[in-house]
Chains A and B, each alone.
Chain A
Amino acid sequence: MTLGNVKLILGREIRDQLRDRRTLFMIAVLPILLYPLLGISMLQVSQFMQEQATRVLVVGANHLAARPPLFENGQFATRLFGDPSGARLLELHFVSAEPPTPGAAPADLRMEADAEVAAGHFEAALYFPPDFARRLEAFRAAVRRQAQGRAGGRAGDEPAVRLAVPSPEIVHSTANEKSELAFARLSGVLQRWSEQIGEDNLVQSGVSRIAARPFLVGSADVADPKHRGASFWARILPVLLLLWTLTGAFYPAIDLCAGEKERGTLETLLCSPAERSEIVVGKLLTIMLFSILTVVLNLLSMGITGWMLMSQMPGLGLPPPVAIVALAIAVVPMAALFSTLCLALAAFARSTKEGQYYLMPLLCITLPLVMLPMSPGVDLNLGNSLIPVTGVVLLLRSVLEGNYWQAIQFTPVVSMVTLIACLLSIRWAVEQFNSESVLFRESERLNLGLWLQRLWSHRQPTPTVAAATCCGTLILVAHFFLSVSAAPMEGLGGFVRAVLTTQLAVIAAPALLMTLLLTRSLRQTLLLKRPPWLAVPAAALLAVALHPVSNVLQSLVQHLYHVNENLRPALEKVQAMFHQADFWTLVLVIAIVPALCEELAFRGFILSGFRHLGHKWRAIVFTSLLFGMTHGVVQQSLLACLLGMVLGFLAVQTGSILPGMVFHVVHNTLAVSNARIMPEMVPHAPALRTFVTPLDGGGCGFTWPVAVVGLLAAVLLLMWFGRLRGPKSPEEELTEAIERGESQQLSLVPKEAACGLAGDR
């Protein structure tokens, strides 16, 4: 890749985009116009909102006592409102509690009020039961008499407590937002009225009014004035940032890839000496630039509009200047990540129209990553900072909230994760540009019958990449439904049944069935071959060496991502069950069956399919990602993913499923015996204490030196495996040939010599 070509392509693409009116409109004109327009409409709407009164039907209020007054001049009394103008906002319509005809039952009025509110004639109704006024007066009189009696030295003849006052009711509808507003206003008014009656009662009983409210609660805000309102901005800015970067990247990306394909200029560029990576990086930088430009323009326009509106909207400060700086920094990685994603998607799309369909899935994937940090209790920690996008948002939030020290601590991790995510997306995009099936895709009418027929008649010895993906997805989906629908397991029998069902029906069966239906060679697909004889004991040894390492990693993972408290009882129950179970039953269920089923499915069918991708590590990584995802709990998945890499590596290097199976059996057996046997052995052999320490959760943890020695041994063994030469897929052979060709090209063989070579061929 040469910088010169990247610069050339970048320059051209920028000029191209700047000459495109649509892009310019989306990126420059829209934000400049949008926020002032939004501001104007918001102002108008907010005025409209403030003025809006709610209609309330008041039933049976005619006999209420005059003191303290609830109503004044057909409205609620002004002193019942914090803001004196509040009374205007409740428009009252009075209905007498007396039945119009002497025979009608009082309950009818209540039902009428319900009907009126339900029909939407009124936002709410305030219903006083027929004898409310009388009973309230009686209550107050009783309280008064009691107080006078106490003052006169004799006991009250009628204890007030016994006189229950029926409750007035507010009829409202939670389905109607305005009704809820009326409800809130009414409850406030009645609450204050009830307090006033109580205070009056006290006064009449000769107690000071203050007795009802002996103290007021004060509050103090220690937030730096600069950071007031920060939490609001901390929540809203990341979402806006996501939307801006995404839209800013999306439209140029579609135009630069799918659009060029449509206009036929992509082939012109592809047969120029510019390398695919140069094209991708050039286009990527353009997209990123426009993405950042969108953010900057939006932010400026919003800032100016907001600053002008700020006088109209009290209680909301401008974001602190530091927030702007943080935002400016966060923009770059976010834009880079979204630009690469958009670029890869756009390169995949056949036309601009198809490209635009991909916006929705892209949003669906990225929105949860931005929403996750919004949920309460999600803080910046090592675990969360490892999640792409989420980490950036959390980091941004902690800067906005003024936790600079915390932000600085996690910056390296977040940058690293973002960088890796970006690099992976770039790889993906380059891949798209290298794939002729993507570049020259033509739409084809789908015919299910023909398709199935072809699937059968064109079977290859090993499955295709699509078949492998399909198998993995099928296993994941079936696994999910099984785990959701399964009844809670009862005892060991239930556990054994659950494991066997999952392993045999969900993992092994689809893989075997697909092998029979979609491939020609069972042996080649499932790697049913004899490995080099040393590989089997070496795999077993590797499992032993890796046991302390995986143990340490497991506790590290659990430390990073705490087990959900709700899951803990279930986990403890499982652990208790393991302690009671027969050791060999456990080995069979936890070690042997999964080793057979999972290896056949993942290192057999799926890995064989992914090897058509053309690179063994890509195949191994994809397989282990799927393998990890079938392990339900996140804490388990991470470790399974790493072990999946080792297993995949063994399968690729030896060309046989057997070493992986042996590794798997030994690894799981060691895990079972660690939980069962080790804690029992420690008291008998005190020397063991230098190597292991019993854990409170059951099982033993290994000391660091043991783990390090294990790791070293494992590395040596893996290096031995690395020297083996397993069979390769045709695609892998080709990739290697191209890599060799490229290096030859770099060494600049003289043209004549190259001609001679070609002639010999």
Chain B
Amino acid sequence: MIHVHELTKHYSDLRRGQFVALGGISFHARPGTVYGLLGPNGAGKTTALRILSTVLQPTSGTATINGYDVVVQAGQVRRQIGFMSANTAVYDRMTGWEMVEYFGRLHGIPRPELTERMEKLFERLKMNDCRDLLGAKMSTGMKQKVSVARAVVHDPPVLIFDEATAGLDVLVARALLNTVAELRDQGKCIVFSTHIMREAEKLCDRVAIVHRGQILAEGTLEELRDRHHQRDLEELFFQLISQHEAACGFASVL
């Protein structure tokens, strides 16, 4: 479903020179699974997912989603995905219903079908309270729900969540994780980036631990635990990153 091959992204930055945000990452994600990108802040998760959502162009490498190339078939790729990140905000001067309806229409869903689908969606996500509320007046949790509804309204085969739980309280975060799990059970291919180990443990079928634009380890949680002889994911994560830091000669950030 998602094939990422040797994806790199360089930025030119005055202070850091040619800054490598992604140093050639490759992974595959299959339908009906949640693929976790685990990494500290600044690891390159957002860059990778922005490339998948066609908003950024890679410096080299290829990525295909449902068979479409993210660079040369960007338009088709955007029809295949629902993208939600900390940067995809909700319109201030639109109500929850209007916002979701707008994106549904942009995806070309006929109006009667859209209304029916949205009614169900609003019911399922329990967001009838923000139905007629302007974005500016919504709480963070409501905004997050609207964003989820916006991302899934066109029933895309691929869903990308970039640190979607950042800044949410336990209740809302839990509800969001449940929604993601439901979507997985419906057969969606999901990429989920986070820096919270508990979420990864709960949700992800496979994870890639990303640091400084590199994938340090990749596999199912069990595989990782066995390979590195560490049952605790957080310890495992910490260990891998420290080793990488030491190997690269960086002063430890941890």
Per-residue B-contact encoding for A15-57, CB less than 8 Å = 1, 0 else: 1100110000000000000000000000000000000000000
Q: When the two chains form their complex, are residues B83 and A757 in contact, meaning their CB atoms are under 8 A apart?
A: no
A757 CB contacts on chain B under 8 angstroms: 67
Q: When the two chains form their complex, are residues A436 and B107 in contact, meaning their CB atoms are under 8 A apart?
A: no
Q: Identify which of B55, B73, B85 contacts A439 (C-beta below 8 A).
A: B55
B65, chain A: closest CB distance, angstroms: 9
Q: Is B108 an interface residue, CB under 8 A from the partner?
A: yes
Per-residue A-contact encoding for B102-117, CB less than 8 Å = 1, 0 else: 1101111000000000
Give the residues from 70 to 106 in chain B that come closer than 8 angstroms, CB to CB, to chain A.
71-76, 78-79, 81, 83, 85, 87-94, 98, 102-103, 105-106
B83 CB contacts on chain A under 8 angstroms: 271
In the assembled complex, the Cα of A264 lies from the Cα of B89 at a distance in Å of 5
Q: When the two chains form their complex, are residues A758 and B91 in contact, meaning their CB atoms are under 8 A apart?
A: no
Give the residues from 530 to 554 in chain A that come closer than 8 angstroms, CB to CB, to chain B.
none
In the assembled complex, the Cα of A444 lies from the Cα of B90 at a distance in Å of 27
In the assembled complex, the Cα of A274 lies from the Cα of B105 at a distance in Å of 10
In the assembled complex, the Cα of A12 lies from the Cα of B98 at a distance in Å of 9
Q: When the two chains form their complex, are residues B14 and A754 in contact, meaning their CB atoms are under 8 A apart?
A: no
A756 CB contacts on chain B under 8 angstroms: 67
In the assembled complex, the Cα of A440 lies from the Cα of B54 at a distance in Å of 13
A15 CB contacts on chain B under 8 angstroms: 93-94, 98
B94 CB contacts on chain A under 8 angstroms: 12, 15-16
Q: When the two chains form their complex, are residues B67 and A745 in contact, meaning their CB atoms are under 8 A apart?
A: no
Q: Is A267 an interface residue, CB under 8 A from the partner?
A: yes
Given the known A-B contacts A271-B54, A272-B78, are A737 and B85 also in contact in the complex, defined by CB atoms under 8 Å? Answer: no
Q: Is A275 an interface residue, CB under 8 A from the partner?
A: yes
Q: When the two chains form their complex, are residues B93 and A16 in contact, meaning their CB atoms are under 8 A apart?
A: yes
Per-residue B-contact encoding for A430-451, CB less than 8 Å = 1, 0 else: 0000001001100011110011
Q: When the two chains form their complex, are residues A450 and B15 in contact, meaning their CB atoms are under 8 A apart?
A: yes
Given the known A-B contacts A267-B85, A758-B3, are A450 and B106 also in contact in the complex, defined by CB atoms under 8 Å? Answer: no
Per-residue A-contact encoding for B10-52, CB less than 8 Å = 1, 0 else: 0011110110000000000000000000000000000000000
Per-residue B-contact encoding for A242-277, CB less than 8 Å = 1, 0 else: 000000000000000000000111011011111100
In the assembled complex, the Cα of A19 lies from the Cα of B137 at a distance in Å of 14
B220 CB contacts on chain A under 8 angstroms: none
In the assembled complex, the Cα of A758 lies from the Cα of B74 at a distance in Å of 14
A740 CB contacts on chain B under 8 angstroms: 72
Q: When the two chains form their complex, are residues A741 and B102 in contact, meaning their CB atoms are under 8 A apart?
A: no
Give the residues from 702 to 761 in chain A that come closer than 8 angstroms, CB to CB, to chain B.
734, 737-738, 740-742, 744-745, 751-752, 754-758, 761
Given the known A-B contacts A744-B73, A757-B67, A758-B3, are A436 and B57 also in contact in the complex, defined by CB atoms under 8 Å? Answer: yes
B194 CB contacts on chain A under 8 angstroms: none
Q: Is A458 an interface residue, CB under 8 A from the partner?
A: yes
Which residue of chain B has the shortest Cβ distance to A451 in the bound complex? Answer: B14
B71 CB contacts on chain A under 8 angstroms: 734, 737-738, 741
Q: Identify which of A19, A447, A745, A761 contacts B76 (C-beta below 8 A).
A: A745
Pick the most buried of A274, A439, A758: most chain B CB atoms within 10 A of its CB.
Answer: A758
B74 CB contacts on chain A under 8 angstroms: 738, 741
A754 CB contacts on chain B under 8 angstroms: 67-68
In the assembled complex, the Cα of A746 lies from the Cα of B239 at a distance in Å of 49
Q: Identify which of B14, B64, B69, B134 contacts A454 (C-beta below 8 A).
A: B14
A268 CB contacts on chain B under 8 angstroms: 88-91, 103, 147, 150
Q: Is B168 an interface residue, CB under 8 A from the partner?
A: no
A703, chain B: closest CB distance, angstroms: 51
B134 CB contacts on chain A under 8 angstroms: 19
Q: Is A409 an interface residue, CB under 8 A from the partner?
A: no
Q: Is A8 an interface residue, CB under 8 A from the partner?
A: yes
In the assembled complex, the Cα of A536 lies from the Cα of B100 at a distance in Å of 62
Q: Is A5 an interface residue, CB under 8 A from the partner?
A: yes
Q: Is A4 an interface residue, CB under 8 A from the partner?
A: yes
Given the known A-B contacts A267-B55, A271-B83, A274-B106, are A758 and B17 also in contact in the complex, defined by CB atoms under 8 Å? Answer: no
In the assembled complex, the Cα of A270 lies from the Cα of B150 at a distance in Å of 13
In the assembled complex, the Cα of A56 lies from the Cα of B251 at a distance in Å of 85
Q: Is A457 an interface residue, CB under 8 A from the partner?
A: yes
In the assembled complex, the Cα of A138 lies from the Cα of B149 at a distance in Å of 105
B31, chain A: closest CB distance, angstroms: 12
Q: Identify which of A8, A751, A761 contacts B62 (C-beta below 8 A).
A: A761
Q: Identify which of A263, A446, A450, A751 contacts B67 (C-beta below 8 A).
A: A751
A8 CB contacts on chain B under 8 angstroms: 102, 105-106
Q: When the two chains form their complex, are residues B75 and A742 in contact, meaning their CB atoms are under 8 A apart?
A: yes
In the assembled complex, the Cα of A232 lies from the Cα of B88 at a distance in Å of 52
A262, chain B: closest CB distance, angstroms: 10
In the assembled complex, the Cα of A701 lies from the Cα of B14 at a distance in Å of 57
Q: When the two chains form their complex, are residues B78 and A271 in contact, meaning their CB atoms are under 8 A apart?
A: yes
Give the residues from 270 to 297 in chain A that come closer than 8 angstroms, CB to CB, to chain B.
270-275
B62 CB contacts on chain A under 8 angstroms: 761
Q: Identify which of B18, B67, B75 contacts A755 (C-beta below 8 A).
A: B67
Q: When the two chains form their complex, are residues B90 and A272 in contact, meaning their CB atoms are under 8 A apart?
A: no
Given the known A-B contacts A273-B79, A737-B71, A758-B69, are A20 and B93 also in contact in the complex, defined by CB atoms under 8 Å? Answer: yes
B78 CB contacts on chain A under 8 angstroms: 271-273
Q: Is B179 an interface residue, CB under 8 A from the partner?
A: no
Q: When the two chains form their complex, are residues A446 and B14 in contact, meaning their CB atoms are under 8 A apart?
A: yes
Q: When the two chains form their complex, are residues A741 and B93 in contact, meaning their CB atoms are under 8 A apart?
A: no
B95, chain A: closest CB distance, angstroms: 10
In the assembled complex, the Cα of A758 lies from the Cα of B69 at a distance in Å of 8
Give the residues from 600 to 625 in chain A that come closer than 8 angstroms, CB to CB, to chain B.
none
Q: When the two chains form their complex, are residues B102 and A267 in contact, meaning their CB atoms are under 8 A apart?
A: no
B12 CB contacts on chain A under 8 angstroms: 454, 458
Q: When the two chains form their complex, are residues B91 and A447 in contact, meaning their CB atoms are under 8 A apart?
A: no
In the assembled complex, the Cα of A497 lies from the Cα of B125 at a distance in Å of 80
In the assembled complex, the Cα of A450 lies from the Cα of B71 at a distance in Å of 33
In the assembled complex, the Cα of A8 lies from the Cα of B104 at a distance in Å of 11
Q: Identify which of A439, A458, A751 contacts B66 (C-beta below 8 A).
A: A751
A275 CB contacts on chain B under 8 angstroms: 75
B79 CB contacts on chain A under 8 angstroms: 273
In the assembled complex, the Cα of A39 lies from the Cα of B13 at a distance in Å of 55
Q: When the two chains form their complex, are residues A264 and B17 in contact, meaning their CB atoms are under 8 A apart?
A: no
B8 CB contacts on chain A under 8 angstroms: none
Q: When the two chains form their complex, are residues A273 and B73 in contact, meaning their CB atoms are under 8 A apart?
A: no
A738 CB contacts on chain B under 8 angstroms: 71-72, 74
Which residue of chain A has the shortest Cβ distance to B47 in the bound complex? Answer: A440
In the assembled complex, the Cα of A133 lies from the Cα of B14 at a distance in Å of 84
B248, chain A: closest CB distance, angstroms: 21
Q: Is B166 an interface residue, CB under 8 A from the partner?
A: no
In the assembled complex, the Cα of A268 lies from the Cα of B103 at a distance in Å of 9
In the assembled complex, the Cα of A321 lies from the Cα of B75 at a distance in Å of 49
Q: When the two chains form their complex, are residues A444 and B75 in contact, meaning their CB atoms are under 8 A apart?
A: no
In the assembled complex, the Cα of A283 lies from the Cα of B54 at a distance in Å of 21
Q: Is B56 an interface residue, CB under 8 A from the partner?
A: yes
Q: Identify which of B14, B73, B85, B107 contacts A745 (C-beta below 8 A).
A: B73
B109, chain A: closest CB distance, angstroms: 11
B206, chain A: closest CB distance, angstroms: 20
In the assembled complex, the Cα of A745 lies from the Cα of B80 at a distance in Å of 13
B18, chain A: closest CB distance, angstroms: 7
Which residue of chain A has the shortest Cβ distance to B134 in the bound complex? Answer: A19
B93 CB contacts on chain A under 8 angstroms: 15-16, 19-20
A91, chain B: closest CB distance, angstroms: 61
- Which 9 A-B pairs rank lowest in CB-CB distance, beginning with the nearest? A741-B72, A264-B89, A755-B67, A754-B67, A268-B88, A19-B93, A271-B53, A271-B83, A758-B64
27 sampled A-B residue pairs with Cβ under 8 A:
A8-B106, A9-B106, A15-B98, A16-B91, A19-B134, A263-B91, A263-B92, A265-B92, A267-B55, A268-B88, A268-B89, A272-B103, A272-B107, A273-B79, A436-B56, A440-B55, A454-B17, A457-B17, A458-B17, A734-B71, A741-B71, A741-B74, A742-B75, A745-B76, A751-B66, A751-B67, A758-B67
**Which of A's residues lie within 8 Å of B, judged by CB?**
4-5, 8-9, 12, 15-16, 19-20, 263-265, 267-268, 270-275, 436, 439-440, 444-447, 450-451, 454, 457-458, 734, 737-738, 740-742, 744-745, 751-752, 754-758, 761
Further 6 A-B residue pairs, CB within 8 A, beyond A268-B147, A751-B66: A8-B106, A263-B89, A270-B55, A436-B57, A742-B73, A745-B73
